[in-house]
Structure 1
């Protein structure tokens, strides 16, 4: 996992970078914007997440179809109704997660998450799908929001979820552990990765555990004052391998994966949208089609781009300074 000669920072360095940049988010930008303050930011996030999280499970809608469905209410492309409902259900659940994470309408003091909220997320995710294509093996008491009453076969990774008779005790124990999660701890990424792995191991529902688990992960993140993590469909293999390693007791790869996903979301969606042209932000948040983050880093190292290098080794600049650099580059 990194180290000398690997070309990649060690996990501890990724965690330090994450902690430093979250601290900067709070000091410079005032923390995560509320849904009312920055609706466009959250719309972009849950549109991307609805697409990628359902695609990980096999949904074939492309991002343009997802955007039209969620922003215009139009189902285009001739796909099965179930696929549109998968995306719509996920997006509705993500909207609830982000709004309740930042501006909760009802929140239990001293709790990060409740059992009722987990069941509610699953109900929001799965009800639209269930309305058109209910699980063929489901009993009358196994619908959206209800725990499974079936045994689950061993997965290809070798992991075997617990018997359905143990679900209630297992998930209540999981909630207790989740509510002991401490934000900004040195090993926060690995601690939340362990919680994510354990949720998927418990597999509390007959169907929709992956989608529900990723939304539950993001509710924990947002309530711990971190941006949500989008797991992109192109990273599906890395994600599943990291989960498999966590099943075998090594949660480090999954912790690093989640830390990187949080940072990518921070740079791609949040910082560019809330930082004005003179705000000093990480170079990754200033990259665009004209200049990649690597190009900007090289320019900063050579003194061609006004930038500051922090104690964490990260270069920071502003949109104004990047525009000045790009203009000077054209003139040369």
Structure 2
């Protein structure tokens, strides 16, 4: 059951399916980083900041942006924190590029073990050079599977013994490669794959970051935007991971679907649609005008908008700007 005023799981899944299909058919699919540097740059900053913050990194978004855009370390934080951000940023850029314009890495499969190891190497190498994991052996450097046992996590998740990791990861890759044809709701299948990676915990360190990165590689290759899991949602994310580990992937599936849909409507659709294309109101919302406020204005006839065949309100950037200007004028009359 959904909270009052909050779309149900089924509604979110339907919106995601319809939104991605519209992205493919009306707008030609996800733009490449070369075609849409601004779009991917904004996604990049947000993902890097939030995904590292989930693991305890204290750089705020502005500090992340300055580090990545100007190469300057501001904020007087520990060196390791800047290196964590820089490493994750390198890995995320590789994921975006390889997801949309794959090079020599491509084998025709959705993902390979080599790619998983490479993502981990990119994400961890910079910080590892100055602050390696204290228990790591030479055989456990970035990109290499762990050779240590790991105790069970709060909630009961139990990683396998380290000798079992290579076989478990091979099975994981086989399963991930079948995502496109998985039975049932796609977000639930994605949640299962994501939770299984975290359950295996293939590396000594950096599994959370790597798991989110490879999940985004899968998404982008399947034509979906990246999922940005926000630091404010960390507790709910971990709770949903535990529920997926216990055999109920639907809450994590819904969580991931909402994150993907947010990226689609917040970053992708407003940019590729242009000012005149009719798009869902969620793609036109911002800090001043929420989707709920826009819907209310449309229902009252104050915002030019149209209902599509599914009953969803649509408007465009030009009409919203006109409504915003009239609203501003009324407030100052």
Question: Which whole-Å CA distance do the structure 1 matches of 2:158 and 2:181 have between them?
Answer: 30
| Cα deviation, residue 157, structure 1 | 1.4
Q: What is the aligned-residue RMSD (CA, Å)?
A: 1.5
- Residue number in structure 1 paired with 2:126: 128
- Residue number in structure 1 paired with 2:308: 310
| Cα deviation, residue 246, structure 1 | 0.6
Cα deviation code 1:51-77 (max 9, x no counterpart): 100100000111111111000000111
Residue in structure 2 matching 1:140, options 138, 150, 155: 138
Cα deviation code 1:104-136 (max 9, x no counterpart): 012545410000000000000000010110001
Kindly indicate whether residue 211 of structure 2 is the aligned counterpart of residue 218 of structure 1: no
More displaced, 144-153 or 73-82? 73-82
Question: Which whole-Å CA distance do the structure 2 matches of 1:137 and 1:105 have between them?
Answer: 35
Asked if structure 1 preserves the Cα contact closer than 8 Å seen for 2:147 and 2:163, the reply is yes
Question: Which whole-Å CA distance do the structure 1 matches of 2:25 and 2:304 have between them?
Answer: 22
Map 1:1-12; keep pairs closer than 5 Å. 1-2=1-2, 6-12=4-10
- Residue number in structure 1 paired with 2:201: 203
Kindly indicate whether residue 292 of structure 2 is the aligned counterpart of residue 294 of structure 1: yes
Asked if structure 1 preserves the Cα contact closer than 8 Å seen for 2:148 and 2:162, the reply is yes
Q: 4+ residue runs of structure 1 moved beyond 4 angstroms?
A: 183-186
Q: Which runs of 5+ in 1 are unaligned?
A: none
- Residue number in structure 2 paired with 1:49: 47
Cα deviation code 1:73-117 (max 9, x no counterpart): 001111111000000000000000000000001254541000000
- Residue number in structure 2 paired with 1:241: 239
Count how many residue pairs are aligned between Structure 1 and Structure 2: 330
Asked if structure 1 preserves the Cα contact closer than 8 Å seen for 2:146 and 2:203, the reply is yes
Question: Which whole-Å CA distance do the structure 2 matches of 1:229 and 1:185 have between them?
Answer: 21
* TM-score between the two structures when normalised by the length of structure 1: 0.96
* TM-score between the two structures when normalised by the length of structure 2: 0.95
Q: Which runs of 5+ in 2 are unaligned?
A: none
- Residue number in structure 2 paired with 1:262: 260
